[in-house]
Amino acid sequence: MSKQIRNIAIIAHVDHGKTTMVDQLLRQSGTFAAHEKVQDTVMDNNAIERERGITILAKNCAVTWNGTHINILDTPGHADFGGEVERALSMVDGVVLLIDAQEGPMPQTRFVTKKALALGLKPIVVVNKVDKPGARPDYVVNAAFDLFDKLGATDEQLDFPVVYASGINGWSSLTQGEPGEQWGPDMAPLFETILKHVPSVQGDPAAPVQMQVSALDYSTFVGRIGVGRINQGTLRAGQDVLVMAGPDGEKYKARVNQIHQFQGLDRVQVSEAGPDEIVLINGIEHIGIGETVTDIEDPRPLPMLKIDEPTLTMNFCVNTSPLAGREGKYVTSRQIWDRLQKELRSNVALRVKETSEDGVFEVSGRGELHLTILLEEMRREGYELAVSKPRVVFREIDGERCEPIELVTADVEENHQGGVMQALGERKGELVNMESDGRGRVRLEYRIPARGLIGFTNEFLNLTRGTGLISNIFDGYEPYKGEIGGRKNGVLISMDAGEIFTYALGKLDDRGRMFVKAGDPVYEGMIVGIHSRDNDLVVNATRTKQLTNFRVSGKEDAIKVTPPIDLTLEYGVEFIEDDELVEITPKSIRLRKRHLSEHERKRAAREERPD
């Protein structure tokens, strides 16, 4: 029970190299056998994570270095998955903060660091990617110090150790060195820094057991699995315990069936575990996140984990389009509701409630990415549904209507700066800081209502020709900032049902860009494209060539059609307006008007119009 243990979390802004760094720590600690073939970013084992190159779920692994058992938690970089970060940090005694040697601290760096400092954790700063062109390690270390200072770090937290590393090449060093020199052969300097600076907080193995559940897993063999850290006492397989939802919450007796620990990426069954061990327990059917597993005779419950409130909400509805039920396996409101309830068990930052409308559920989350990842998972599982435009969650503070404000950082080329600043200004953004890196790029910092960022990603990519980097984080609530203009273009709406023909597309080509291609099914009220003007236009998308003795089906003249816009889930959710929906099925993403027939849309518009 007295073995040496260190519990650390690796935190960083998205794309600064966390998962690649964990790969190297696993490899160099001897976790994988010499003959074992291991894929890159082995921790990102979710299909969506691999496709997008991002981490969504916090994950555990463990390595052994010089006789010390090091539990490592790989955390997401996006603020949308902050619930995952907060849970991970509740299990550790230290954090390794990765910062890109070229980009320096970014908004999500600020977000995850603020959480870590507030918990009293002392960070180890790793300047990653120091071997890439344009690296500026000195700037990064100074910027990290300034960031810590702004976030109210203690003197001890400000005296942080620095390690220079290249995660992708698998080496680290305690000194910068000069380009061209061999900085370090392996990850040993980082391992030694972790052992030296992360405390081994040894609890009392003889005290009443106390373990808080910070994550959940599921197995078809043993049911729900609770993951957490034992703060004190010794937990044994077969032990009777008391499960408590905080000091004043519900409590019930249960029995722990099996206990597992992490070893590399594997789980190893043990008969007992002591203080500071991160373990997986099963046998408790209804165990939930934040609950404390404690001693029956002398219970020691911990406060429930505090998670930031959601800032964005969407309506998830039953799919009512004429094409409903053709592609999905789960289409009813009860099936959608049950799936959302299942998601709530592990997705702690999510909120779900029923609305007055039948088959419509209000789902709130931390951001567009948080909600669209859930939708993507549901469609891959065979669910079919429709969703509304995202709306921000307003709050009443001191009798005033307040809205969420985001801190936005945009890295753009100097020749794109004007267009980006104009677009952010139109969306009620206020410039906070602007600095040039002296290499043709500018970093802009804005504070902007969260409403203004809905649908901005695509516009930003167009403005910067795909070269810009933008990220944002929640920065508090402020009084309502006034109306923000919506989409500048109207849409093309199909007037009837049928199949799209190339002939019809040729006739509509000068009207705007299409979302559909020849052969696609359409229905009345479905949005088939973006109008080149600012009004909606009802069009005949199923029109065919009239054939006579003189007009045959042969190719008299080639019909030129502009390729359609690639309609992704994210694009659709950002594009739609309040009177529109995104129809999501396992095989298709379609856009539609909420009211399908034209006379219903006119009636709804009259009802909404003030007298």
Helix, strand counts (H, E) of the chain: 15, 35
- Is position 19 annotated in a ligand binding site? yes
Fold observed for domain 395-479: Alpha-Beta Plaits (3.30.70)
- Is position 587 annotated in a ligand binding site? no
Q: What is the pTM of this model?
A: 0.74
- Is position 16 annotated in a ligand binding site? yes
- Is position 128 annotated in a ligand binding site? yes
Long-range contacts of 415-420 (CB under 8 A, 24+ apart): 416/463, 416/464, 416/465, 416/467, 416/468, 417/442, 417/444, 419/463, 420/444, 420/460, 420/463, 420/464, 420/468
**Residue 171, phi then psi, degrees to nearest 5:** -140, 160
pLDDT at position 33 is 42
Q: At what angle do helices 18-28 and 188-197 cross, to 10 degrees?
A: 100
Token pair 């690649």 is found at: 20
- Is position 298 annotated in a ligand binding site? no
- Is position 18 annotated in a ligand binding site? yes
The superfamily (CATH) of domain 491-608 is bipa protein (2.40.50.250)
Residue 206's CB: how many other CB atoms inside 10 A?
Answer: 11
Below-50 pLDDT ranges, the chain: 1, 32-46, 49-50, 52-57, 77-81, 178-180, 182, 556
- Is position 130 annotated in a ligand binding site? yes
Cα–Cα dist 86/102, whole Å: 27
Fold observed for domain 5-197: Rossmann fold (3.40.50)
pLDDT at position 218 is 73
Cα–Cα dist 598/577, whole Å: 17
Each residue of 309-338: pLDDT tens digit? Answer: 788 899 999 999 999 989 989 999 999 999
β-pair type (521-522, 498-499): antiparallel
- Is position 17 annotated in a ligand binding site? yes
Q: Taking a C-beta distance cutoff of 8 angstroms, is the pair 231, 303 a contact?
A: no
Tokens describing residue 348: 């702690």
β-pair type (240-244, 251-255): antiparallel
- Is position 35 annotated in a ligand binding site? no
Residue 479's CB: how many other CB atoms inside 10 A?
Answer: 12
- DSSP element (H, E) containing 165: strand 162-166
- Is position 198 annotated in a ligand binding site? no
Cα–Cα dist 366/53, whole Å: 20
β-pair type (162-166, 266-270): unpaired
pLDDT at position 2 is 53
pLDDT at position 551 is 54
Fold observed for domain 210-294: Elongation Factor Tu (Ef-tu); domain 3 (2.40.30)
Cα–Cα dist 531/550, whole Å: 34
Distances (CA, A) of 84 to 366, 392, 473: 11, 21, 15
Write down the domain spans for the chain: 5-197, 210-294, 395-479, 491-608
pLDDT at position 34 is 40
Q: Taking a C-beta distance cutoff of 8 angstroms, is the pair 486, 415 a contact?
A: no
Written in H, E and C, the secondary structure of 242-293 is: EEECCCCCCEEEEECCCEEEEEECEEEEECEECCCCEEEEECCCCCCCCCEE
